Amino acid sequence: MSNLVPKLESLAVSVTNQLKPNEEPTREGAITPRINRLSRPLEAIDIPHKKINSICCIGAGYVGGPTCAVIAAKNPHVKVTIVDLNAARIAAWNSDKLPIYEPGLDEVVKTARGRNLFFSTDVEGGILDADLIFVSVNTPTKIKGIGAGFAADLGYVESATRKIAEVAKSDKIVVEKSTVPCRTAQSMRYILEANAKPDIKFDILSNPEFLAEGTAISDLFYPDRVLIGSLDTESGRSAAASLADVYAGWVARDQIITMNLWSSELSKLAANAILAQRISSINALSAICEATGADIDEVSYACGLDSRIGPKFLKASVGFGGSCFQKDILNLVYLSESLHLPEVATYWKQVVEMNEYQKRRFTNRVISCLFNTLTGKKIAVFGFAFKKDTGDTRESPAITLVNYFREEKAYISIYDPQVDEAQIWMDLTEPGVVDETEAVKRQVSIAADPYKAAAGADAIVICTEWNEFRDTALDYQQIYKEMKKPAFIFDGRLILDAKKLGRIGFKVETIGRPRTTFVQTTDFE
């Protein structure tokens, strides 16, 4: 199998040769013909391939859990076992309170669990039994060593790969589901080949996941595309066809795209980078709006009507969060630097820097409107999750904002409908530093509902766009009565009707709209 490696090098070249760089795509057809040229539509791959009867997914997280639960629900004849080293997480998957909140997930799990969907800590048993193994473990940013702060920590991918090599007694298709740097499949191949029992064959596929949290189930039910990367060998194409059959349980064949491994790996990083870049672009423009009197929602709307731009991912905000955008862009920055492409690295890094700037800028606006000091003031933070409809707080902008408010000596009361209290304390403290927890608790409290969070507060700061924070859902009249005056609302998500709340008496400050309240004395001079 080691003779595959030189062929990997030539693969990229052979795919590049298929492109016609001089061909100018039409405006309407800029994307579609290009994909067709690059990909190998599956129906055209008339190649014998194995039927998948048993799947194991290593990693029962936000991706492995929902993705493989949907695969099981849509393929009742395929046994799907999701394994994880984290026993508490597996116990939760086997209980009535699933470890993650995701609309529609409960129903999917109930449909298949115990029938052909199983959650287990028996990683070895899962591997032994499977024809196809998804590796869906975490790939966080490295915090120490070479590449710290940028490169992906592939330790979990490596240990899952080593476990597969150690345990497997039959041929396996190993699928990268985790988001990984370009050419990780090559490292996985080396590890498998160096450690597996003789005569066992591994095919490695890249099958990145594009679901977004909060909409995971509908994203999985109706994906824009399913991407499968494989080696352009008979064995690679055959493995891709086997995996494609699994998705064909519910996804139209022409939406299942195949391409070379490295393109597939890079496409995932690229998609996240481009999505985040749109948010940073609109957030950069929101600063111009605030200074000029333009309204960012109107600017987004006007730009989004251009069919080349489109309306999605142009919502200004207090900054993007989530476990992946920042991590994946930093990963791309690291990759670019490693490839001696410093200009490319600088370009992508700016997307993350703009995001940090947006959070600082919004905090400065809060401080400035509250008469230039937060000392001793109470700030009600509405929302702690990184977006609505999830309990996930990873890289949530709310964490950064609360920390900034703490530095300014404010008291903060947090309400979020889905985030566990313990998670909030973990996010606001260094793990294991008990003294720090006590210090945080002197300044931060967690409220049972938004009314309690806002009672006696000087300001409300909307960090997450939960529907229940809208002015059509909450009784802002009641909230106003219980707040200190002047009562401020800082809408970091553009979800409130500022005029309506203004009529109640609130001073409303909205991201991407000019400031309406308290002009500093220096402005009069």
Ligand X SMILES: NC(=O)C1=CN([C@@H]2O[C@H](COP(=O)(O)OP(=O)(O)OC[C@H]3O[C@@H](n4cnc5c(N)ncnc54)[C@H](O)[C@@H]3O)[C@@H](O)[C@H]2O)C=CC1
Ligand Y SMILES: O=C(O)[C@H]1O[C@H](OP(=O)(O)OP(=O)(O)OC[C@H]2O[C@@H](n3ccc(=O)[nH]c3=O)[C@H](O)[C@@H]2O)[C@H](O)[C@@H](O)[C@@H]1O
Give the residue numbers of the binding site.
59-64, 84, 89, 137-141, 178-179, 209-213, 268-272, 308, 315-321, 324-327, 386-387, 394, 493
Could you tell me which stretch among 101-109, 116-124, 158-166, 320-328 binds ligand Y (CB under 6 A)?
320-328
The reply on whether position 63 binds ligand X by CB under 6 A is yes
Binders in 70-109 for ligand X, by CB under 6 A: 83-86, 89
Site mask, ligand X, residues 193-212, x = CB under 6 A?
----------------x-x-
Cβ-based nearer residue to ligand Y, 147 or 319? 319
Contact status: 59 vs ligand X (CB under 6 A): yes
Give the tokens for residue 508.
């409303």
275 near ligand Y (CB under 6 A): yes
CB of 200 to ligand Y, least distance (A): 31
Residue 86 binds which entry of ligand Y, ligand X, none, CB below 5-8 Å type-dependent: ligand X
- Which H/E stretch holds residue 25? none
Q: Is the dihedral of CA 212, 269, 174, 237 positive or negative?
A: positive
The item of ligand Y, ligand X, none sharing an interface with residue 386, based on CB under 5 to 8 Å by kind, is: ligand Y
Cβ within 8 Å of residue 125, ≥6 positions away: 81, 83
341-400 positions binding ligand Y, by CB under 6 A? 386-387
Closest CA to 313 of 241, 387, 378: 387
Q: Would you state the structure tokens that stand for residue 392, as one six-digit string?
A: 């996930």
Select from 268, 296, 272, 273 the least CA-distant residue to 350.
Answer: 273
Question: In the complex, what is the shortest distance from the CB of residue 293 to ligand X, in angstroms, rounded to a whole number?
Answer: 37
Give the containing element (helix H, strand E) for 382: strand 378-382
Active-site annotation holder among 182, 324, 369, 463: 324
Contact between 290 and 515 (Cβ < 8 Å)? yes
Nearer to ligand X, 40 or 89 (CB): 89
Q: Which residue type occupies 52?
A: I
Q: Which of 322, 228, 323, 297 is nearest to 493 (CA)?
A: 297
Q: Is 60 in the site for ligand X (CB under 6 A)?
A: yes
Nearest C-alpha neighbor of 100 from the set 323, 389, 386, 320: 389
Residue nearest to ligand X (CB): 61
* Binding status of residue 461 toward ligand Y by CB under 6 A: no
**Residues 177-196 contacting ligand Y, CB under 6 A:** 179
Q: How many other C-beta atoms lie within 10 A of the C-beta of residue 16?
A: 11
Q: Respond yes or no: is residue 324 known to be catalytic.
A: yes
Nearer Cβ to ligand X (163/507) = 163
User: Of 8, 56, 58, 457, which lies in the binding site for ligand X, with binding defined by CB under 6 A?
Assistant: 58
- Burial class of residue 503, CB neighbours in 10 A (0-12, 13-18, 19+): exposed
With contact defined as beta carbons under 8 Å apart, do 355 and 276 qualify? yes
Phi, psi for 444 (deg, rounded to 5): -120, 135
Least Å from the CB of residue 494 to ligand X:
23
Under rule CB under 6 A, residue 159 binds ligand X: yes
- From 118, 134, 320, 362, residue interacting with ligand Y (rule: CB under 6 A): 320
Q: Considering only residues 201 through 260, tell me which ones interact with ligand Y, judged by CB under 6 A.
A: 209-213
* Among 315, 349, 406, 507, contact with ligand Y (rule: CB under 6 A): 315
Quick one: DSSP state of residue 260?
E
For residues 445, 398, 141, 286, the Cα torsion angle rounded to the nearest 10 degrees is -170
Residue 137, amino acid:
V
Nearer to ligand Y, 242 or 264 (CB): 264
* Residue in 199, 138, 208 with CA at minimum distance from that of residue 172: 199
Residue 363 binding target from ligand X, ligand Y, none, CB below 5 to 8 Å by type = none
User: Per rule CB under 6 A, is residue 321 in the interface with ligand Y?
Assistant: yes
What is the DSSP annotation of 213-256?
A: TTSHHHHHHS-S-EEEEE-SSHHHHHHHHHHHHHHTTTS-GGGE
User: Between residues 209 and 458, which has the closer beta carbon with respect to ligand Y?
Assistant: 209
Q: Which residues bind ligand Y (CB under 6 A)?
A: 179, 209-213, 272, 275, 279, 313-315, 317, 320-325, 386-387
Active-site annotation, residues: 324
